[in-house]
C-alpha cells in the first residue's frame, strides 16, 4: 500500500489520507477534512480509482470535505453505524459549536467491527474502537493502521466530548490495537505517525511498561 497525507484544515491539524494499492490503483480517502480542491486533483493526478470515502468518526473536523469528494467521484461514503447520525447534524458532529454548521451527505455504507474489503490484492479490516466517539474506527491495511482520533503519538483521543468514554477508549486501544504487531505503522487523525511498539512503550496514557 502507498499513502499520502494532506493537511487541509490547519486550524484543527486534521490528517486526511489517500491510500492505494499500487497495482490496481484502487484507493480510499480517509477523513476529507475540508472541501479543498487539492484532494480532488490528487486523485486525478495520481490516476487513482477511488473505491471508498471513509470517515474514522463523525466529528466535523473529519467530514467537511465529504460532499466535495462525493460530488467529484461516485465512491460510497462509509462510517461506523454508531456515528452515522453525526454526518447530517451539525449539533451532533460538534461543528455547531465552532459556528461552522458542517453537514455531509448521508452514509452509503454502515461499517461494523470486523468488516473487510479489498483494494486490489490488499485486504482492509475495520476495527471498531469506541471511546472518543461511540462509532470510532481504525482501518488496518498491509501493516498500516489509520487510527483516527483513537490513538496518537504519545496521546489518545479526547473523551470529554459527547459520547466519549475514557475506560472504553483505553480498552479499545489495549484490547484491539496493542494486540497488533509492534512494527505496525500508526497513522493518526492528528499529528505525526508512530508505531504500535513505540506507543506500547512510550504512550503515557496506555503504556504497558510500569513506571516507578
Ligand atoms: Zn474527533
Ligand atoms: Zn479530530
Which ligand has an atom closest to residue 94 CA? 1
pLDDT tens digits for 78-137? 999 999 999 999 999 999 998 899 999 999 999 999 999 999 999 999 999 999 999 999
Task: Provide the total of helices (H) and of strands (E) in the chain, helices listed first.
Answer: 5, 14
Quick check: 75 and 53 in contact, CB under 8 A? Answer: yes
For residue 151, is it within any domain? Answer: yes
Per-residue pLDDT band for 209 (boundaries 50, 70, 90) equals low
Question: Separation of 102 CA from ligand 2 center, angstroms?
Answer: 14
**Residue 20 domain-assigned?**
yes
According to the model, what pLDDT value does residue 164 have? 97
Query: Is position 88 within any domain?
Result: yes
* Residue 210 placed within a domain: no
Q: Which CATH number fits the domain that encloses residue 12?
A: 3.60.15.10
Q: Is the pTM here over 0.75, yes or no? A: yes
Residue 210 is predicted with a pLDDT of: 56
Residues 47, 150: Cα–Cα separation, whole Å: 31
Per-residue model confidence (pLDDT) at position 207: 77
DSSP string over 25-61? -EEEEE---S--HHHHHHHHHTT-EEEEEE-SS--HH
Total structural domains within the chain: 1
Which ligand is nearest to the Cα of residue 158, counting in written order? 1
Which residue segment(s) compose the domain that 68 sits in? 2-202
Q: Does residue 207 form part of some domain? A: no
| pLDDT band at residue 62 using 50, 70 and 90 as cut-offs | very high
In a domain, 45, yes or no: yes
196: left (phi over 0), alpha (psi -120 to 50) or beta: alpha
Residues lining ligand 1 (ion), CB within 5 A?
A: 59, 149
172 has a pLDDT exceeding 70 = yes
Asked whether residue 182 is assigned to any structural domain, the reply reads yes
Note whether residue 209 is domain-resident.
no
Residue 98 is predicted with a pLDDT of: 87
Share of the chain above pLDDT 90, in %: 95
Q: State the average pLDDT over residues 45-73.
A: 98
Looking at residue 75, the DSSP 8-state letter turns out to be: P
Strands 185-188, 155-156: pairing is unpaired
Mean pLDDT of the residues in the chain: 96
Report how far ligand 1's centroid is from the alpha carbon of 164 (Å). 10
Q: How far is the CA of 149 from the centre of ligand 1 (A)?
A: 5
pLDDT of 211 reads 54
Amino acid at each position: 500500500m502507498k499513502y499520502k497525507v494532506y493537511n487541509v484544515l490547519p486550524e484543527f491539524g486534521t490528517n486526511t489520507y489517500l491510500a492505494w494499492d499500487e497495482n490496481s490503483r484502487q484507493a480510499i480517502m480517509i477523513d476529507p477534512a475540508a472541501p479543498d480542491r487539492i484532494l480532488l486533483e490528487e486523485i486525478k493526478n495520481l490516476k487513482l480509482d477511488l473505491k471508498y470515502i471513509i470517515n474514522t468518526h463523525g466529528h466535523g473536523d473529519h467530514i467537511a470535505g465529504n460532499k466535495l469528494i462525493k460530488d467529484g467521484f461516485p465512491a460510497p461514503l462509509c462510517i461506523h453505524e454508531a456515528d452515522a447520525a453525526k454526518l447530517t447534524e451539525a449539533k451532533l458532529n460538534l461543528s455547531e459549536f465552532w459556528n461552522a454548521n458542517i453537514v455531509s451527505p448521508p452514509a452509503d455504507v454502515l461499517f461494523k467491527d470486523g468488516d473487510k474489503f479489498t483494494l486490489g490484492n490488499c485486504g482492509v479490516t475495520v476495527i471498531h474502537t469506541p471511546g472518543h466517539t461511540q462509532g470510532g474506527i481504525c482501518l488496518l491495511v498491509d501493516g498500516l493502521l489509520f487510527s483516527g482520533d483513537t490513538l496518537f503519538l504519545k496521546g489518545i483521543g479526547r473523551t470529554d466530548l459527547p459520547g466519549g468514554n475514557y475506560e472504553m477508549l483505553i480498552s479499545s486501544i489495549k484490547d484491539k490495537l496493542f494486540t497488533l504487531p509492534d512494527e505496525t505503522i500508526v497513522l493518526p487523525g492528528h499529528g505525526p505517525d508512530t508505531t504500535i511498539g513505540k506507543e506500547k512503550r512510550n504512550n503515557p496514557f496506555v503504556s504497558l511498561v510500569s513506571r516507578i
